[in-house]
Chain A
Amino acid sequence: MNTVTRKGIILEINGPIVTIQLPGVHNGEQVRIGSLGLYGEVIALEGDSAIVQIYESTEMVRPGEPVEGLGHPLSVELGPGLIGGIFDGVQRPLEEMFLKAGDQIPRGLSPAPLDREKLWHFVPTENLEPNMPIIGGARLGTVQETETVEHRILVPPDIEGELIELAPEGDYNLEETIGQVRDRHGHVHHLKLHHRWPVRKPRPYQSRDNGIEPLITGQRILDTFFPLLKGSKCAVPGPFGAGKTVVQHQVARWANADIVIYVGCGERGNELVDVLDSFPKLKDPYTGRPLMDRTLLIANTSNMPVVAREASIYVGITLAEYYRDQGYDVVMLADSTSRWAEALREVSGRLGQMPVEEGYPAYLASRLAAFYERAGRVETMDNGKGSVTLIGAVSPPGGDFSEPVTSHTKEIIQTFWALSKELADARHYPAIDWVDSFSADVGTAAEWWHENIDRGWEKRRGQALAMLARDAELSRIVNLVGPEALSSAQRWVLEGAALIKDGVLQQSALDPVDTFSSPEKQFLLLDLILSVYDEGAALIELGVPVQELSEMPVLARLRRCKELYNSSQIDQLREFREEALQDFKAIHSEYAQRGEQTA
């Protein structure tokens, strides 16, 4: 990349938007401004001058101070050492900044994101020999990044040619050359364990592929009712306090992904601390390793400069694509995309662009779509498969889903986990509304469930949703004319729906057992509750009073099953099932006998 720097001066400072004069500057180019060397990015050219958005506070910066053009666009460092780290919105390493500079983030400081000294044990790819042709994205070798993650060292996507040298197995730092490629112009590229990539440019792949299996999150309402495929796009809208962050943390904890990238975009500092504190102590349910070994954090908290917030989303998705290109299933969580949209609005407002709705610029919808489009399951350049699943929280003002960010996002995504204030107020968590939420991928997910868990999945799921819909309808009647208007069978539907809500849908993230539910346990619980409902419905046909059924002690236990049996106590759960159904059989035979006697 071009490293020639050019000099200019500052003309005007308007908060984070600075006008500069810098001959030959490009749109999108990185600049450093002022005596502090604050980082920024050119977002518009106007005649002789350029408009720059600055990622840091511009307090006490003056017109006339120097400006330097860096000759390249905003880009990230990609290489081993990313996992387990926490970076700010422009990939500055926050742990290191803390050690170097103390409690507050100083201006103009920009340590390299990745450790330059650390040695990594590089193992070259077998059968890869000098003189072979090699393409961008090909795998040169691997290093073990964490106990969980094998980092695959790729040829940068924009380099292709003849491999003229490949380093032997051994320990290398990030700056050492581990391979050389001569391109068709004869230029020799020295490849290292890391390379850079501009964040606003999607990384290339061979082709797109359909999603084929669900992302298992261990959350019943998500996996069983509104499944999300690996490589799919999903939004989690909800008013404040409804549980968006908890949903995202739960997915980060328990999803069967290889890599998790969590972007705290304009949200609370303490929520990131929560992840930093708890993840190293939690075990990945699939590998048994500390969760931090597969997790990476990007933090632009709400009090950090707003322009870096806009960048943080792109930094996150570029890192996600990089691991996708290594053949991994990556989940990227963005909390919250609304804050990113607001950063766009802020900048466009300062530029005097025409607002179209609620102050947002006209390009909001297209920016959102282009961003979500970077999710997907692909065939990578070296013929592997990888995916990026994108889950964005949306924070609608006043909880109103008709506002611009929510409504545009809704048109783009495939899975929609809508959070409701009413449910959250009643402490029904996760407060995911089963009426407003949807998944366009139930069909594909069903194939997976039928093959791996149980053939009855789709039917049971449908039955439960139908019962919840019926419950809503009947509750409306009760609210108009009172419960007396309902038949016994109808009242049993209310009871059944309550059992589903308490025993299946509700799942406390704080309960040590219930926080994660394996697909097997999910199905067993659902099937058990529906079986109990079916048995009860049959008894009501026989004339058993609904009161008698509702007061059966087994129902209270049924509601607790989720917390009493963990995901490896499937056999015990099956035993309980037999006992529970036995209770119903007992009543059944009692009434059947009575029926015979009276007959």
Chain B
Amino acid sequence: MSAKEYRTASAARGGLLTVSNVPNIAFGDRVRIRDQKGNTRNGQVILSSNEEVLIQVFEGTEDLDMENTWVRFLDEPVEITLSPEILGRVFNGLGEPRDFRPPIVSNLRRSISAAAFNPAARTYPKEFIQTGVSTIDGLNSLVRGQKLPIFSASGLPHNRLAAQIVRQAKLPDDDSRFSVVFAAMGVSYADARFFQEEFASSGVLGNVVMFVNMADDPPVERLTLPRMALTAAEYLAFDLDRHVLVVMTDMTHYAEALREVATAKGDVPARKGYPGYLYSDLAEIYERSGRIKDRHGSITLVPVLSMPSDDITHPIPDLTGYITEGQIVLSRELHNQGIYPPVHISPSLSRLMKDGIGKDFTREDHPHVSNQLYALYARALETRNLASIIGADELSARDRRYLEFADAFESRFVQQGEDEDRSIEETLNLAWDLLSTFPPQALTRVTETEMAKYHRQSGE
């Protein structure tokens, strides 16, 4: 570490500080800044030449006085200190404790911007995780090592759903629990407290590492926070052989912080003012989930994001959907009808489901049952739409059956208690209850054998 302090700061604007005439500073170097009041701020070099160095200041550049700003270059990238002691602890976006306990002492420090995993080192995620939530397990199954976000919007119960997943997630016939890494960016005190209490009351707190940045904390810190959290998760998964479930909320606040810094830097905006590299930046985060050859542990990632104005085509959900392996989409309409969890299945998807379900994993009929429910519900929604135009009385008997199905599906299959932990067997049987309201010839996505075995009418 260099002891030399420079007092050549020449400009400060929007979280960025320019320092002139400092030779040979490394790109990405960590920086410590002392302001006129003697307070310390942290930063990172984002452009470097001998004439000029540009620093992104995590705590912001407000009221910096150029004359009285001292800059020290630490000659190391942004790092996190790691040891098994991180479990049960709470940190901020820079990896400093925010639980009033002493810092972690360890020789193991890792840069938070890890190199990309070699695709040849990965193994394909295949192990079905039972979350106990029918819309997920039955229709959009999660597997170990998957990245599956929750697309939500303000006022919807995404936090409750995320907490329910954390509480209930397990592999059928396997007792090993997940370790949890929880990353909160720009959240309210109420939300942070909700999660803390959740973890405490379900007795997992000692198994959780929390990284928290509140709504009134410096936004720039949100940029390092998910990387801190994932570096910790990688350590737990690939050094300590644990299965790690990472919950990140709210990725929208992360992206907004990125936009703020990008705008200050003068980066060319692509859509809605977000920089063109938002995709790559999000991918650097999301792609850190997965399974690695010959490693026991895994990282399963459940990011939560709120869709601005409920708009799924907004760049944040849009780019997220282009990177993640599916998405669980919450609907205001279902929520307003009092349905919990308000999962709208049509736009929801799990891309890794295909290899984790069916014979040998869940049950042989699972893939077809899922397809069949999707097809029926799509048709049922069309029918509902038609009924709203021409009136339900005008519908044919066949169409009316679809209408009834839509209601039953939402109130029985989608709807469930916050503490209701349904086994996959229960979920599939429930599905057959609903399928059996149709005659066998209306169900062409399930096989004839499955029909004979599970369809109530053919079974009799």
Contacts and interface: CB of A to CB of B under 8 A. Distances in A.
A37 interface: no
15 contacts: A57-B113, A60-B26, A62-B48, A103-B292, A105-B115, A241-B327, A269-B117, A299-B119, A302-B323, A303-B284, A358-B270, A421-B347, A478-B386, A479-B386, A553-B441
A569 interface: no
A504 to B, nearest CB: 13
A139 B319 CA distance: 47
B113 A270 contact: no
Contacts of B351: 241
With most chain B CB atoms within 10 A of its CB, the pick from A98, A103, A107, A346 is A103
A59 B48 contact: no
Given A61-B27, A268-B325, A103 B118 contact: yes
Contacts of A268: 287, 323, 325
A316 to B, nearest CB: 15
A482 B399 CA distance: 11
B111 A13 contact: no
A188 to B, nearest CB: 40
B118 A104 contact: yes
Contacts of A306: 277, 280
A311 to B, nearest CB: 15
Interface string B275-293: 0110110011011101011
A277 B124 CA distance: 8
A240 B321 contact: yes
Interface stretch (A397-405, A465-473, A532-540): A397-405
Interface string A545-578: 0000001010110011000000000000000000
A50 to B, nearest CB: 14
A86 interface: yes
B268 A480 contact: no
A349 B287 contact: no
A58 interface: yes
B108 interface: no
A64 B386 contact: no
A270 B354 contact: no
Interface string B427-460: 0000000000000111010001000000000000
B24 A94 contact: no
Nearest to A358: B270
B238 to A, nearest CB: 7
B47 A103 contact: no
Nearest to A429: B371
Interface string A1-38: 00000000001111100010000000000000000000
A88 B283 CA distance: 17
Given A13-B48, A359-B269, A484 B120 contact: no
A72 B197 CA distance: 61
Contacts of B327: 241
A303 B287 CA distance: 6
Contact of A302 (B111, B118, B283): B283
A556 B115 contact: no
B277 to A, nearest CB: 5
Contact of A60 (B77, B122, B238): B77
Interface of B: 23-29, 46-50, 77, 111, 113-125, 238, 267-271, 276-277, 279-280, 283-284, 286-288, 290, 292-293, 295, 313-315, 318-319, 321-323, 325-327, 346-347, 349, 351-352, 354, 367, 371, 374-375, 378-379, 385-386, 389-390, 394, 396, 399, 440-442, 444, 448
Interface string A381-409: 00000000000000101111000000000
Given A103-B238, A273-B123, A399-B313, A426 B396 contact: no
Contacts of B440: 556
A142 interface: no
B318 A240 contact: yes
A339 interface: yes
Contacts of B117: 103-105, 269, 303
B50 A64 contact: yes
A522 interface: no
A502 B292 CA distance: 39
B113 A59 contact: yes
A145 interface: no
A421 to B, nearest CB: 8
Contacts of A58: 27-28
Given A63-B23, A105-B118, A302-B283, 18 more contacts: A11-B50, A12-B48, A13-B27, A58-B28, A59-B77, A107-B115, A240-B321, A273-B122, A301-B287, A342-B276, A359-B269, A397-B270, A399-B313, A427-B371, A427-B378, A479-B386, A479-B389, A483-B396
A508 B371 CA distance: 10
Interface in A408-454: 421, 424-428
Contact of B390 (A301, A304, A346, A482): A482
B116 A301 contact: yes
Nearest to A424: B349
B118 A12 contact: no
B25 A63 contact: yes
B116 A104 contact: yes
A98 B27 contact: no
Contacts of A462: none
Nearest to B318: A398
Contacts of B346: 425-426
A269 B119 contact: yes
A481 interface: yes
A345 interface: yes
A253 to B, nearest CB: 15
A186 interface: no
A304 B114 CA distance: 11
Interface of B, helix, strand, loop or mixed by DSSP: mixed
A345 B278 CA distance: 12
Contacts of A482: 386, 389-390, 394
A500 to B, nearest CB: 14
B356 to A, nearest CB: 12
Q: Which 3 residue pairs across A and B have the least CB separation, nearest first?
A: A398-B313, A302-B283, A426-B378
A257 B116 CA distance: 32
Contacts of B295: 103
A426 B375 contact: yes
Given A11-B50, A104-B117, A342 B279 contact: yes
A62 B77 CA distance: 13
A274 B396 contact: no
Nearest to B326: A241
B396 A60 contact: no
Nearest to A18: B27
A339 B279 contact: yes
A559 B119 CA distance: 39
Contact of B26 (A61, A349, A395, A398): A61
With most chain A CB atoms within 10 A of its CB, the pick from B267, B288, B379, B390 is B390
A62 B26 contact: yes
Nearest to B53: A63
A269 B292 CA distance: 11
A269 B325 CA distance: 11
A58 B323 CA distance: 24
A97 to B, nearest CB: 6
A270 B77 contact: no
A106 B115 contact: yes
With most chain B CB atoms within 10 A of its CB, the pick from A63, A105, A270, A274 is A270
Given A94-B120, A426-B375, A556-B444, A355 B325 contact: no
Contacts of B124: 270, 273-274, 277
Interface in A262-282: 264, 266, 268-270, 272-274, 276-277
Contact of A272 (B28, B46, B119, B375): B119
A62 B73 CA distance: 12
A240 B321 CA distance: 6
B119 A302 contact: no
Given A303-B283, A397-B318, A426-B346, A560 B120 contact: no
B287 A302 contact: yes
Nearest to B283: A302
A60 B119 contact: no
